[in-house]
Structure 1
Amino acid sequence: MERVWYVAYGSNLALERFRCYVSGGRPVGGAREYPGCRDKREPERVVSIDVPGGLVFAGESMVWGGGMAFYDAKGPGKVACRAYLVTAEQLGDIAAQEMRRLPGGEFARDLAGLLADVESVHTMGPGRYETVTRLGIRDGAPMFTVTHGDVSELEPVAPSATYVRWIAAGLREAHGWDPAQIAGYLIAAAGVRDTWTVDDLEAIAACGYSDFRRAVEKG
């Protein structure tokens, strides 16, 4: 399998943040330096898509603090995503870095090797992003995302302001949404709706890029 779509739904909606997984680096406001993929070529194509399901925030991010985004295939509605056309090996390295494993290590190689056989869902382990979900085919290449094995068992946890800023920036960049659309989308997610307000979400989404970077750098 030469090319696959990696489908992002969290902070990787923003191209600048996603590039840290490919070429390496530390995202603004993040607590981690990423080594990047072995193959550091840019994705061949980038497209914005929606997929059936829901968005849940849970666990504790060691990069942003607060809850992390998870794709729930059984959730109601649609999830706003961005798909990157990469190699199977790059997707393996990206998923490995999500789990703080080394690019090119056993986990990355195993994941890249099994993609051709994933027809729906394949769980590699109990970790937060160790389940691969196939989301269909686009232009002849299969689409995959990574999430938790059973999202329904997770206790919702509010995401941090920095994480929300990156996701809001990605939604604006990928889907062209205005602040009201972004706030309306995020407030429906478990982990957000009981902690954040629509007004706060709109204020974050209304930041221009320079203001966004300054806000993220301040935390």
Structure 2
Amino acid sequence: MDQVWYASYGSNMSAARFGCYLYGGTPIGGTRRHPGCRDTRAPADDQALELPGGVYFAGESRNWTGGVAYYDPELTGTAYARAYLVTGEQFADVAAQETGREPGAEIDVAAVVRDGRLSLGPGGYETLLCLGERDGHPIVTFTAPYPAAAVEHTVPAAAYLRTLAEGLVQSREWTPEKAATYLVELSGVRGNWTAAEVTALLPAATG
């Protein structure tokens, strides 16, 4: 697979955080060091993207603690995302690192594009989806195998939520307040964080 748009709706919307998967490193506020991709070229492009569906938080992150962001295309609404134009190999290496595999693990990205869906296992981020195309390149992402309604929703940690907000501000040219308004309506955040609290996370990440 030559090039694909990797659609991030979670912490990888932050360029610095995504860079840890591309080039290697530990994200600010995270606990795990990532080895990086075999091909460490920067994305050829990145663009703001809207996906039909929604984002929710569930489970427990090994890197951030707290809930993990997942995408459910069956939810009502819009999931705001950032799409990076990368090679199929780079996407496979990012997906591998997200699922605890080493870069170079065999992932058939062409099958995701052909069939629309590929399961690597039962865990979070082990379900790969193709969500259409943009500018002649397929849009691909990964999420949990279960819908939002099938699992208990959990509260994301401050460092994780800050990184999501940072990515929204970067990619969409939103104000911190607008990013916070979007995030506090997501299940797992709603009722547990206020917009003012999320907004207050941003200066340390973007100042």
TM-score w.r.t. length of structure 1 = 0.89
Aligned match of 2:140: 144
How many angstroms apart in 2 are the aligned matches of 1:134 and 1:112? 9
Tell me the secondary structure at the aligned position of residue 131 of structure 2. strand
Aligned match of 1:190: 187
- Contact 1:56–1:151 (CA<8 Å) still a contact in 2? no
1:122-146, Cα deviation, whole Å (9 max, x unpaired): 3221010011111111110000110
**Paired residue type of 2:205:** F
Tell me the secondary structure at the aligned position of residue 108 of structure 2. helix
How many angstroms apart in 2 are the aligned matches of 1:19 and 1:49? 19
- Contact 2:113–2:130 (CA<8 Å) still a contact in 1? no
Written as runs of structure 1 = structure 2, the 5 A alignment for 1:1-219 is 1-105=1-105, 109-118=106-115, 120-152=116-148, 153-205=150-202, 207=203, 211-212=204-205
How far the C-alpha of 1:213 sits from its partner, in A, is: 6.9
How many angstroms apart in 1 are the aligned matches of 2:86 and 2:112? 13
How far the C-alpha of 1:212 sits from its partner, in A, is: 2.3
How many angstroms apart in 2 are the aligned matches of 1:179 and 1:17? 18
How far the C-alpha of 1:121 sits from its partner, in A, is: 2.5
**Paired residue type of 1:154:** V
- Contact 2:112–2:129 (CA<8 Å) still a contact in 1? no
Task: Give the 4+ runs in structure 1 shifted more than 4 A.
Answer: none
How far the C-alpha of 1:94 sits from its partner, in A, is: 0.3
1:67-109, Cα deviation, whole Å (9 max, x unpaired): 000001011111111111111111111001001110002xxx2
How far the C-alpha of 1:20 sits from its partner, in A, is: 0.6
Contiguous gaps of at least 5 residues in structure 2: none
Contiguous gaps of at least 5 residues in structure 1: 215-219
Identity of aligned residues (%): 43
Tell me the secondary structure at the aligned position of residue 84 of structure 2. strand
Tell me the secondary structure at the aligned position of residue 191 of structure 2. coil
- Contact 2:113–2:140 (CA<8 Å) still a contact in 1? no
Give RMSD over aligned pairs. 1.5
